[in-house]
Structure 1
């Protein structure tokens, strides 16, 4: 019977390593380096908590900024003011005045928002009413250029002074919120070495997770209010059949339950027996 000589496994591996050419070693090194880079990128990619404080502009691809953003416009239109109201945004050609009698230059004109990343456009018309402004909750995530049609000419909206508005956070929808800012600054793309000719307006919309301390809806049941001026309690209407303070609180609880089914965070301004004051 012929004997078979067994070769130790370690010897086989050693022979295979010794048979590798420099070209093989270069390929192995590159493959390991690529794997390490992928692991590093994955471990350091922004998570949902990071996105809360992250500047959305800085996340846009450099080629998009340099290829899609115009530095200068022949036709421009000056805005002087803006107003966030609820989840809407209005802009004004004059300083905002709630009681102004004359029609603002922006009223009745067509406004266009263009997403610089996707090219998608939204069209609106300011009517002057609270619900006749830009419905911010409907916008997709992105940075939007702002245009207005004046005498059928499309003009780029700008502001004299550079600014970034305080962020507006929309209500929860599907466990998410939108963080929205209006920005007008010729240096908004400084990181990309792109300088604009004017403080052109950009509406920046970022999808993120809600912060726990932010409430979507506050319900204020009537009754049981302490009047600081008279130092008296105003309980509201009461009779043998109904107590306004109690009935309104019970209604508030029912409304709260229904709203929470849609994922909204709801706060009732008082408990059944408290006597809040609204002085000041």
Structure 2
């Protein structure tokens, strides 16, 4: 099979020919149709993630495809693949044949584009958990979303509107009339500038840090504003995210939710890793065989 391997942290990805994985108990072999390239992949690749697979390794934490061999899943079944250490503690999804733990698979509805099946989990479940599990969003609340053109931001906007919230995509509007909830997907100076837009007693859910991972905090001002800072940790809230998956996939399948994807050939992994860092890029990157 063809696979992308990282020979070292920060090193250029290499397209190689590797032996096909063989069936074994507790594992499912999936023929990859699309594999996501995300910021977590960049973090692992940089060596900055808390865990990492032994070098060299196959990156990728998410994918979609069809079952080839499994004791639990029927051959030919359309599935999405994520978690259970893929791409973080063991080889991941950037390969033609994925060797995945059985529990990493979920069923993919017929008719849903495989690229969406690979890309949906992180942005859709992050947005859902941020709004409904952490922020406890109520209809009629005013919500400011930073990074609203990105994958998570766009999904947050769509789900918040579906829930009856008044969603603002521009900070200038929130500066005129403070919001009840800030969902920040970019961090850094953007988060610093957005926090004063939250009304006293409001909440701010911290989702991402692509613009920077530090926040200068004037404690006296922070206490006076009385805003709750609520971090989103999807590793800890994985179960809540997975519980929401069937409803989210149904919305994607019938068009109630939309998610942009940009396709790259498997050998273009380096270009995909660069593309997701570009300011203003829309949607998610996926590798296709």
TM bracket (short chain): under 0.3
Larger relative CO (CA 8 A, sep 6+): 1 or 2?
2
Between Structure 1 and Structure 2, whose CA radius of gyration is higher? 1
Higher helix share: 2
TM norm structure 1: 0.23
